[in-house]
Chains A and B, each alone.
Chain A
């Protein structure tokens, strides 16, 4: 395996974890904010450097220089490949921008230390390919979220039940698959893995934990916990390489049903957080639909939509969070008329929403087109449902835009406009969303290469599983 010129991966995992320990000891909220930003910024730099280094190698896969983990346990546990190379900086960017756009009023509720621990564990998950370590890391990744819920004295049963069940099923599935000598045993293992990743991705009817999370956890933490799409990553690493076609088809159908159901639910929501939750569920399910078509075009579409969903919906979530910070929770059964106070946020809400639904000239457009084309190839009905889900989501987005920003005049005695740090975050998101929409070829090309490699890997991995049966 090729080697990076520097231990970028280990550094980008270790640095935020160490910084979290240091920031946990800082009492002052402003200092904690500044230190958190600096740590997240440095991590972002490390991930970008790792990506650039990887691109210069012209390789499918590479591991760290001076690989300490390999030295300790004798295996390359953390690798960078065409799939995760851009996902690492993307995740670091989402954390950085979320921290940057955290308004002062939220500083007391948003733990920067926990966020950095979460960043470290998410980057570790996204760098890992080895089954057992990946399962362990996915479990660890949930701990900061659990701590957040506990610290806010919110109920944790729903979260523990679903995440615990998902992790246990992953362990059972992997163990059964690896230890079984028969096709039936391996098939059962795959079924358990499929159910596990579906729960982690929020597939209906086991999606309630995400809605519960958004209602009870800090919005910023909940946002950062779900938008990197760890469930989709687990599907890519644990299920896609070994799953037979029937398993992929089952995931595709369940994901499609989730996408449609969630898009319908999005239209009727009267609470902004539940609206966001279902919007996210609908889009993340569409990513799974694409992944499970297991065709180059579908997989490319899914990987592109993965990117656009992470960026767009984090942006949309941050907008809602900024509005909530000024007005409190937003009920969507009446108009709020906030436009005149926060035109920036209104415009940004619209931009991120349109980007999520794949409006032309935004980052989501090409991915959505590819996805719909693959879905239509899979079955005209599947394509139709994907198109309908997208249409319902777009109606829901404009409805919520109108509810929050228009319809009446909001009177306020204090200024509610955006602060400079929020404007920087908005501009960064906007440039990425529009820039990648106007010049999509590099991104699509990179995702296509990743898709081809994944499909090749799937063919190679499936081969030994079939041979014993023959």
Chain B
């Protein structure tokens, strides 16, 4: 067998192992025949291990042959050739996807193994690992995506698994409320992504990155789009990325996402999921390069998000929220780097940050204990110095900033008051009118089961 064939075989194994794991765990749960914890652990390790080894083999082959880009083409999942519609499943191994998939697999393997012990005999063990497998599949597909359709597929899987894992402790209402909030933001981001994907299809007749970004491998390609189209598509992609990575004004969901178990917090919001928006921008960087205005928007958004996250992170009272905002600060800086056209720097920053933040989040529970021990030993609290920049500000300004940071930039409350509240009130009124109209037509005064929502401003008002 020749080298190309081996590349294809290992590429397919790398891409499909997580999907097989998801099908296996999901099917067993669906037929109410869950596997034992031991078997789940073995399956997880086998899937991640095989995928990781296969990805490494592809990397070695590429290094040995000097190839900078290898395609694994699964063909059209759906195709209507007469109207030029197709859903093309294609994976690509290049300088962006290989580091990202290796990072995903290494972190998922590590955190998955950690989770096997962490959730031992937990009632939601099976549910956790089905969501985990969905996340792993989503990350692998998104990392290796060679078409925008494949990337969207992975993107959606990551979104669903994230929302479900935020609501993992679903016997309480708070995680569930937060899960719904995360899902709502993700769906808006998904809508923007879908709009971008379809706009690309319209403009170029397909979503193949190889065609969209020119013949040169990432990041050297040049997008075959006009500046105006690039701006339109890029803006949609930026909204999608901002939603997924929790940039301003979508930052409200990030600390809420910490309601999930530590392993999922570590992998989703510290390491991988939160970087997926930045990854999308990196993948689409040849499109972004076509519009200076778009790049400027990216830099500004990243800068504003970084300042906000740095301030908000300093006043958090729990370690996971503080780490979440620390993550956001770094992700925002990565976005700035992407906007400035420093793709390699952004990629290295992304990988380094993901690894460090995973470690910090996994270490968080024991770190608190260590702090307590240290404080007990020295007999007083550890010092927390005010940053020099903030110390220059007056007390009044400091207080205002503190308040704003505590309220997380008032973003959630503004959203609730300006958008969600009026929306709920308006449609509750319509609901009342409809019911009155139906009762009148029926000639009955019997009260209906349905009653309007109270004058609240949240989807979760009791």
Contact = CB atoms under 8 A, between A and B. Distances in A.
With a 10 A CB-CB cut-off, give which of B76, B80, B123 has the most chain A CB atoms.
B80
B434 interface: yes
Interface string B143-183: 00000000011001100100100010011110010011001
Contacts of B437: 208
Interface string B19-50: 00000000001111000000000000000000
Contacts of B184: 395
Contacts of B427: 264-265, 267-268
Given A265-B431, A430-B30, A337 B171 contact: yes
Interface stretch (B285-293, B348-356, B448-456): B448-456
Interface string A260-297: 01001101111101100000000000000000000011
Interface stretch (B65-73, B193-201, B371-379): B193-201
A185 interface: no
A158 B80 contact: no
Interface stretch (B5-13, B110-118, B249-257, B438-446): B438-446
A52 interface: no
B152 A408 contact: no
Nearest to B19: A361
Nearest to B156: A360
A157 interface: yes
Q: Which of A344, A388, A390, A406 has the most CB of B within 10 A?
A: A406
Contact of B198 (A329, A335, A376): A376
A175 to B, nearest CB: 27
Contacts of A335: 173, 176
B386 interface: no
A373 B87 CA distance: 12
A360 B152 contact: yes
Nearest to A437: B77
Contacts of A423: 32
A366 B87 contact: yes
A327 to B, nearest CB: 14
Interface string A431-462: 00000000011001100100000000000000
Contacts of B180: 395, 398-399, 402
A372 B423 contact: no
Interface in B416-462: 423-424, 427-428, 430-431, 434, 437-438, 441-444, 448-453, 459, 461-462
B187 A268 contact: no
A395 B183 contact: yes
Contact of A402 (B87, B176, B453): B176
Nearest to B189: A391
A372 B442 CA distance: 38
A267 B184 CA distance: 11
Contacts of B442: 155, 157-158, 212
Interface in B211-250: none
B382 interface: no
Nearest to B130: A347
Contacts of B307: none
Given A211-B438, A360-B153, A444-B80, A347 B29 contact: yes
Contacts, number: 161
B449 A267 contact: no
Nearest to A297: B83
A407 B176 contact: yes
B4 interface: no
Given A208-B434, A271-B449, A296 B83 contact: yes
B156 A208 contact: no
A249 B114 CA distance: 57
B444 A155 contact: yes
A409 interface: yes
Contacts of A361: 153
Nearest to A372: B198
Interface string A365-407: 0100110110011000001100110110011001100100111
Contacts of B194: 372, 387
A427 interface: yes
Nearest to B174: A407
Contacts of B438: 158, 208, 211-212
A339 B79 CA distance: 39
A158 B441 contact: yes
Contacts of B85: 297, 370, 373
Contacts of A208: 434, 437-438, 441
B87 A408 contact: no
A335 B434 CA distance: 25
B202 interface: yes
A359 B156 contact: yes
B297 interface: no
B138 to A, nearest CB: 9
A387 B156 contact: no
B133 to A, nearest CB: 13
Nearest to A330: B449
A331 interface: yes
Q: From B82, B156, B176, name the one whose CB has the most chain A CB atoms within 10 angstroms.
A: B176
B190 interface: yes
A421 interface: no
Given A395-B183, A427-B30, A402 B449 contact: no
B257 to A, nearest CB: 15
B367 interface: no
A440 B77 contact: yes
A258 interface: no
Contacts of A155: 442-444
Given A268-B431, A387-B191, 19 more contacts: A155-B442, A157-B441, A264-B427, A265-B427, A270-B451, A273-B449, A333-B453, A333-B461, A333-B462, A377-B202, A383-B198, A394-B183, A395-B183, A398-B163, A398-B179, A399-B180, A399-B459, A402-B179, A448-B82
Interface of A: 155, 157-158, 161, 208, 211-212, 215, 261, 264-265, 267-271, 273-274, 296-297, 300, 329, 331, 333-335, 337, 339-340, 343-344, 347, 354, 359-361, 366, 369-370, 372-373, 376-377, 383-384, 387-388, 390-391, 394-395, 398-399, 402, 405-409, 423, 426-427, 430, 440-441, 444-445, 448
17 contacts: A208-B437, A268-B453, A270-B450, A296-B80, A296-B82, A344-B30, A347-B29, A366-B78, A370-B85, A391-B191, A402-B180, A405-B170, A406-B171, A407-B173, A440-B77, A440-B87, A448-B82
Interface of B: 29-32, 76-80, 82-83, 85, 87, 123, 152-153, 156-157, 160, 163, 167, 170-173, 176, 179-180, 183-184, 187-188, 190-191, 194-195, 198-199, 201-202, 423-424, 427-428, 430-431, 434, 437-438, 441-444, 448-453, 459, 461-462
